[in-house]
A and B are shown apart, each in its own frame.
Chain A
Amino acid sequence: MSAHAHPKPIGGKLLDPTMKVLLGLFGLAVLIMIYRFAAGVGPVSNMTDGYAWGIWEPINVVVFTGIGAGAYSVGLLCYLLNKGRYHPFVRPAVLVGAVAYSLGGSSILIALGRYWNAYLLAAVPIWNLNSVLLEVAVCVISYVLVLWVEVLPAVLEGAAESKSPAFARLGRIWGPRLSKAMPFVIALAVLLPTMHQSSLGGLMLIATTKVDPLWHTWALPMLALISCLSMGYGAVVVLTNLLNFTWKAKVDQELFADMSKVNGGLLFLFAGLRVVDIVAQGKLHYLARLDHHLFFFLLEMALFLVPAFQFFSPRVRRNRGRLFGAALMSIAAGALWRVDTYLTCFNAGEGWQYFPSVGETLITIGMAAVGVAVFLLVSRLFPVVVVEDAHGHSHVGAGEVRPAVSR
């Protein structure tokens, strides 16, 4: 098929200045983490009993995994709907997903007060199946494994072309074996995100008195699911464009534009559902409050609706910069809605205030930085990114990108 392009290891110097900055930021975060484990969560964060999750849960978990949902949303298009033309997006999206979800998972370990008990999550008989957080935890951990298995074909392909005979044999034997099992792995990659992404909205169902009425609704799980798909599509467009600036990754504007129509539809669906829900539940009067609730509600609506209209405008669809901007907005829309629900428009009661501390923020930044670093490292070593110009790049593993199922 003509749409099948060639991903290549980017190669190049591993420890370039970008990498040094990223690792520096991560190093700083590690120092703060060490202090956190020695002194407790209190001294490094501004979290209180009223704002018990601070920014770590809303941003490191809920937003990071939203961005990582590109693997899920593109996977749905490619594998379930069999739109083979989107295959060039799959490997980068899966890698971003694997990295983002791993970070979400490990960030939680830092936030957990009694992290040493976390191994008990494996004790199935004591699971409380009413706990939405348990569903999220178990499902996210399983999905991290699934995502890294999905990354494996690229690694094995790289290994098969390796100069070392042992690696080459490993790649040649296990590549085809994995390929046979792939449909059943990918089916998990469809099921698990559907479950835990809706649960990430469902987590806040219990906080009936704390999440602002404009945000608290029975539809939270559905909204979270729609928003992750939209963030995912946005993230793929943004990522591929960024990779084009740096590594001349292949950019197929028409493909972006077509995929963004799906995204536009999702954004309309989300905004429509929210408004209908607010009207149906008789909550319109909450919009009469002239405070931060109104401001964030309007900002959210703008962030959802502006890119939604843009994605259907031929002028934007033709222009790479404009489409990039719209995609960025669609990520911001989902991210803002998530942060509002968990933090900005969450209020435990009178007297509670919260603004993230420097330590908390640096840990969040450090985690994001190490994520980018891992992405760069893997893309340099293994065939993940489809590049425009094959010349001058390593030809290691320059096989066709096929659906992962046929790898």
Chain B
Amino acid sequence: MRISRRSLLKGAAAAGAAGAVTALAGKAEASEHEPKHRPDAVGMLYDSTLCVGCRACVTKCKEANQLPVDASAMQGTEKPVYDAPNDLNGQTKNIIKVFKDGERFAFMKQQCMHCVDPSCVSVCMMGALHKEGEGTRTIAGETKGTGIVAYDKATCVGCRYCQIACAFNVPKFEWLEPLPRIVKCELCRHRADKTKQGPLAVANPACCEVCPREAVIYGKREELLAIARRRLAADPKRYNGKIYGEKDGGGTQVLYLAAAGIGFHDLGLPDLPETSAASFSEHVSHTPYLHGITPLVLYGTAAFVIHRNKQKEETAERHEEGK
């Protein structure tokens, strides 16, 4: 059968339109995961062996982030008067928990891990959760390279995919609000002091500022890693020998040390491989698209075959009528 030149042209035009969309899809693959190196990334180091569980950081966090009190851990008591959240939630960005198992016990601080390659950022449809200063938008006042996972409610649709994606269950949703937001630690980047030098110029976590034992400290991730390594080397019997977050889940900007005999799993941190879930998901999702070629070819082939079948059918009908 013959294809008229006109129909071929029409097919080409339609394929071109589809191409504009799929070229975008191809661009995403191109930007996929060169290992991101951020020498100025900031984070925290929490040393469980130093924490005495005073919860000053929990209170200070609420104050610094203007979060309402939450007495959920005091349910059943006569008069819940203290701020006593029982987990991270829509009113709590930071919490101290305790792990107990017979003789063994240890404190644990939970807040956003500020992953090096965060799942929440990978899945967020329009970059409401993004690495500060990175992503598809430029937002005034954001510093590039801090690696802080920031939240911008302006483009958040509240789909809660971040909650599904985060292995640490950090992003929380305001379930009881008619106009809800996602709530999570942003490393107190709003408390940054531009007049200062170094890490304090980009953020100033209230929890680190208030901690009386310096169990949680703030600084550049690379420096915190060095400090953690020095502590492990200086007193190897004190610790379990590992720095959580150095490589776990592709690395996190909040690092943890725990006492000998206490596994990070006991403290509620998930066992993660060294490759991030984001790179796995993006790799599997992008690969079949072949930089946008697959959809183009599929559309072109489908349009061509369907068009040809239609003409065949019409020719057959004309023959039938002619008889």
Name A's B-contacting residues (CB within 8 A). 1, 37-43, 47-50, 52-53, 79-80, 82, 84, 108, 111-115, 117-118, 120-121, 123-135, 137, 182-184, 186-188, 190-191, 194-195, 198-199, 202-210, 218, 220-221, 348-349, 402-403, 405-406
B316 proximity list for chain A (CB < 8 A): 1
B154 and A205 contacting across the interface, CB-CB below 8 Å: no
* Residues of the B chain whose Cβ atoms lie less than 8 Å from the Cβ of A108: 159
Contact A40 B180 (CB under 8 A): yes
The complex places the Cα of A49 from the Cα of B317 at a distance, in Å, of: 60
Within 8 A of A (CB), among B240-294: 268, 270, 272, 277-278, 280-282, 284-286, 288
A52 & B163 in contact (Cβ 8 Å cutoff): yes
Asked if A112 meets B299 with Cβ closer than 8 Å, knowing A40-B174, A206-B278, the reply is no
- A186: which B residues are within 8 A, CB to CB? 302, 306
Decide: B280 and A121 in contact? CB cutoff 8 A. Answer: no
Residues of B within 8 A of A79 (CB): 302, 305-306, 309
- Asked if A120 and B155 sit within 8 Å, CB to CB, the answer is yes
A43 to B28, CA, bound (A): 38
User: A351 CB to closest chain B CB, in angstroms?
Assistant: 8
CB < 8 Å: which of B119, B125, B137 contacts A133?
B125
In the bound complex, what is the Cα–Cα distance between A117 and B152 (angstroms)?
A: 12
B307 beta carbon closer than 8 Å to chain A: yes
Does B285 lie within 8 Å of A406, measured CB to CB?
no
Q: How far is A40 from B176 in the complex, measured between Cα atoms in Å?
A: 5
User: Which residues of the other chain, B, contact A132 by a CB distance below 8 angstroms?
Assistant: 123, 281, 285
A115 close to B281 (CB less than 8 A)? no
- Complex: how many Å from CA A348 to CA B270? 11
Q: Would you give the shortest CB distance from A175 to chain B, in whole angstroms?
A: 15
Per CB-CB distance, the 4 closest pairs between chain A and chain B, nearest first, are: A113-B158, A129-B28, A42-B175, A114-B158
Q: Are A43 and B158 in contact (CB under 8 A)?
A: no
Contact partner of B277 (CB less than 8 A), chosen from A137, A190, A208, A405, is A208
Cβ-defined contact, B125 with A202, below 8 A: no
Partner of A52 from the list B32, B160, B302 (CB cut-off 8 Å) is: B160
Pairs across A and B, CB under 8 Å, 10 listed: A49-B169, A113-B156, A117-B155, A117-B158, A120-B157, A130-B122, A131-B125, A194-B298, A202-B281, A405-B309
Output the least CB separation between B236 and chain A (Å).
30
Contact B136 A127 (CB under 8 A): yes
Interface centre among A1, A206, A221 (most CB of B within 10 A): A206
**Bound CA–CA A128/B277 (angstroms):** 17
Instruction: Other than A50-B169, A114-B180, A135-B285, give 13 A-B pairs with Cβ distance below 8 A.
Output: A1-B316, A80-B305, A114-B157, A115-B157, A117-B155, A125-B137, A134-B126, A184-B303, A191-B295, A195-B295, A205-B285, A206-B123, A209-B277
CB nearest neighbor in A for B273 = A208
Determine the residue in chain B with the shortest Cβ distance to A190. Answer: B302
Closest B residue by C-beta to A205: B281
Whether B165 sits at the interface, judged by CB under 8 Å, is: yes
Q: State A112–B302 Cα separation when bound (angstroms).
A: 34
Between A and B, how many residue pairs show CB distances below 8 Å? 218
Contact B24 A130 (CB under 8 A): no
Interface string of B141-184 (1 = CB under 8 A from A): 00000000000011111111101110101011111111111100
B interface residues, Cβ below 8 angstroms from A? 10-11, 14, 18, 24-25, 27-28, 32, 88-89, 119, 122-127, 135-137, 153-161, 163-165, 167, 169, 171-182, 268, 270, 272, 277-278, 280-282, 284-286, 288, 295, 298-299, 302-303, 305-307, 309-310, 312-314, 316-317
| Partner pick for B126 among A112, A127, A209, CB 8 A cutoff | A127
- What is the minimal beta-carbon distance from A195 to any residue of chain B, in angstroms? 7
From A41, A129, A195, name the one whose CB has the most chain B CB atoms within 10 angstroms: A129
Q: Which of A52, A126, A191 contacts B164 (CB 8 A)?
A: A52
Q: Are A206 and B119 in contact (CB under 8 A)?
A: yes
A84 near B313 with CB under 8 A, answer yes
A113 to B171, CA, bound (A): 14
Complex formed: what's the CA distance from A122 to B280 in Å?
Answer: 27
Partner of B157, one of A37, A42, A118: A118
Whole-angstrom distance between the alpha carbons of A79 and B309 in the complex? 7
A221, B288: Cβ atoms closer than 8 Å: yes
Min CB gap A43→B, angstroms: 7
Bound complex: CA A205 to CA B302 (Å): 28
> By the criterion CB–CB under 8 Å, are A207 and B164 in contact?
yes
Choose among B163, B288, B299, B313 the residue that contacts A406 (Cβ–Cβ < 8 A).
Answer: B313
Given A113-B160, A133-B161, A187-B302, the answer on whether A199 and B313 have CB atoms closer than 8 Å is: no
CB of B303 to closest CB in A, whole Å: 4
Assuming the A-B contacts A113-B158, A207-B164, A218-B284, are A190 and B298 also in contact, with contact meaning beta carbons closer than 8 angstroms in the complex? yes
* B306 partner residues in chain A, CB cutoff 8 A: 79-80, 183, 186-187, 190, 405
* Cα distance A131–B286 in the bound complex, in angstroms: 10
Question: Quick one: given A202-B285, A206-B281, A406-B314, are A117 and B135 in contact (CB under 8 Å)?
Answer: no
